[in-house]
Amino acid sequence: MPEVCPDSPDSHHRRARMVSRGLTLLLGCIALLAGTLPAQDAGVTQKSARPIRLVLALVVDQMRPDYLDRFRSEWRGGFAMLLREGIFFRNAEQDHSVTETAPGHATMMTGRSPASVGIVSNDLGVPDLLSPLIGSSATGASPRRFVGTTLFDWMLARDPSMRVLSVSRKDRGAILTIGRAKVPVFWFSRGLFTTSRWYGDTLPTWVTAWNARDAVGHFRGSAWTLERPASSYPEADDRPFELNGSGNLFPHVMPTDWAAAAIEIERQPVMDSLTLDFTLTGVRRLGLGLRDGVDFLSLSLSTTDVVGHRWGPGSREMHDQLLKLDRYLGRFFDSLATIVPPDQMIVTLTADHGITEFPEAGAGGRISLSEQVRALNAYGRAKWRLELGAGSEVGLLFGDIDALTRRGVNTDSLADVLAADIRQVPGVERVLTHRSLAAANANDLVAMRWRRQVPAGFGWFVAAVAKKDYIWNSGKTETSHGTTNPDDVLVPLLFRVPGLAPRRIERMVRTVDLAPTLAALLGIRPTERVEGVPLPELFGRRPTR
């Protein structure tokens, strides 16, 4: 099995020819072909234009924007192309409070915040016992909690014949960029790409055939080795806090046992290569980009996230993972160009969240609300004979408030008691309750992020805010994300649009702007109210905010 889709023999020469003749698409003609935007909305003029056939929404899970600058001189593949040809917004935000994978993905193709979409956190995102997986005993998954529409729905409303494919290593990465539609959506589970019974009862033949190649069997016993000589990496390979000092040195060897390798393969760079290869197979078999219309491809790559958790953003492993991903993406774009010419394709790049460095590397620390959760559940049982189902997600303490209210409990007063206790926890900056959040000033950035996080009617008691360099994680083997701090909130946002000159833009934008911007580029409109706005820099205008 190849490491990733192989280069065609003349792929590099073809790319050189494409670059030399330039990108020839007229943005205004996209709008005119769509028939919904006036000609004066055009940002570029060309003598001849070719219609857009494919929109590729690329997500690199846990990709911090500073990575693109830190290693810029080392890019040779996909990142190099995107930075060379794209409009790069260096400061984009996942502008909500629970900076996890599920809420982050839910913002990208909806133009709306997690509170509107109904996705509170990873655990309260796509897990669904009513939608078991096909060929896997892992927890089922679906968009059952998802509310509203996505870019895919807006595109489908204009063109019922459009084709779509969504792929990720993670279920939430594949599901939440599409919404509730029952279309080709696939993710990796226990050594195979699969889907859930929300989407169908059997796997397509092309998925079954790809799985039959046995990627896990091919790579078991292999080793993750450095892309370049060890001397070219400035990062130490022996940071003692990585994985709590166990297994933190190169090379990282895959188990020979198949079941163990099926788990470990998700933690090594080759997983991104396999995801890209599977995606290309799907693009070819489904015929994306080959018809008279615009198709949609959503692709979320997840290895950067697991590498960041296990080894941290300042690790040699992260450096090497990104070098490999750059190479994989370069080959992927070359192969995709043999299917859909680059001047007929829009590509975007963003991330669902960032990552905070290991607290042990600096002056930060780890926070847990497990004691408060246990105490709240014990209170419900002892005082009221209730199972409150209390839990916490990166500072959000929730439970069955309605049950307490029915018993006559003043839950606001209870929340005040909990908040007073949590304020004493080391690493907690502040604590919000329903009353304090309702009274917060609109200029209170953190409070507004919590307003954009929690859906109306969701039963929560308090929302705790972490200090800088602190993480919501009580273990010692990994670092994490999920806070409202910049390292977790900031992500890259990049658009490669044929006909638009590359630029670097420093002003702050938000990931909820991504879908409305793509809609405007395609000449369509959201079918519901959204929070994001089309980014004016892509339409030859000055920003107004």
pLDDT for the residue 1: 56
Asked if the structure places residue 446 within a domain, the reply is yes
Q: Residues 359, 470: contact at Cβ < 8 Å? A: yes
Q: Do 208 and 327 sit in the same domain of this protein? A: yes
Residue 58 belongs to some domain of the structure: no
Quick one: 114 and 72 in the same domain? yes
How do residues 298-340 score in pLDDT, each as one tens digit? 999 999 999 999 999 999 999 999 999 999 999 999 999 999 9
140 has pLDDT over 60: yes
Most confident of 17-21, 43-47, 532-536: 532-536
Out of 40-44, 80-84, 192-196, 203-207, least confident range: 40-44
Specify whether 212 is located in the same domain as 124.
Answer: yes
Classify strands 460-466 and 87-93 as parallel, antiparallel or unpaired. Answer: unpaired
What does the pLDDT average to over 173-188? 98
pLDDT at residue 5 greater than cutoff 50: no
Mean of pLDDT values over 123-134: 97
Q: What angle do CA 193, 219, 196 make, to 5 degrees?
A: 10
Judge whether 531 lies within some domain: no
- 293 and 421 together in one domain: no
In a domain, 38, yes or no: no
Domain closes at, from 406, 433, 467: 467
H, E, C per residue of 202-225: CCCHHHHHHHHCCHHHHHCCCEEC
**What CATH number is associated with residue 222?**
3.40.720.10
The reply to whether the predicted model has a pTM over 0.85 is yes
Structural domain contains residue 242: yes
Domain-located, residue 112: yes
Is residue 178 located within the same domain as residue 320?
yes
Find the domain containing 271 and state its range. 67-358+487-512
Domain check: are 261 and 352 in the same one? yes
Percent of the chain with pLDDT over 90: 87
Between CA 274 and CA 215 the distance in angstroms is 8
Q: Same domain for 331 and 374? A: no
Could you tell me the maximum CA-CA distance found in the chain, to the nearest angstrom? 76
216/152 same-domain check: yes
Quote the percentage of the chain above a pLDDT of 70: 91
Tokens 């895959």 label which residue? 254
Please indicate, yes or no, whether residues 416 and 439 belong to a single structural domain of this protein: yes
The residue-averaged pLDDT of 252-279 equals 97
Q: Could you tell me the CATH number of the domain that includes residue 423? A: 3.30.1360.150
What would the pLDDT profile of 408-446 be if each residue is shown by its tens digit? 999 999 999 999 999 999 999 999 999 999 999 999 999
Q: What is the pLDDT of residue 474?
A: 83
Taking residues 283-294, report their average pLDDT: 97
User: Please, what is the average pLDDT of the chain?
Assistant: 91
Which tokens belong to 66? 């500073």
Q: Is residue 41 part of a domain?
A: no
- For residues 160-172, average pLDDT: 98
Specify whether 330 is located in the same domain as 384: no
Let me know whether 348 and 372 are in one domain.
no
Residues 290, 172 share a domain: yes
- Asked if 367 and 356 touch (Cβ cutoff 8 Å), the reply is no
Total number of domains constituting the chain: 2
Classify strands 503-510 and 470-472 as parallel, antiparallel or unpaired: unpaired
- Per-residue pLDDT of 43-99, as tens digits, reads 333 333 689 999 999 999 999 999 999 999 999 999 999 999 999 999 999 999 999
AA identity, residue 235: E
Residue 270 placed within a domain: yes
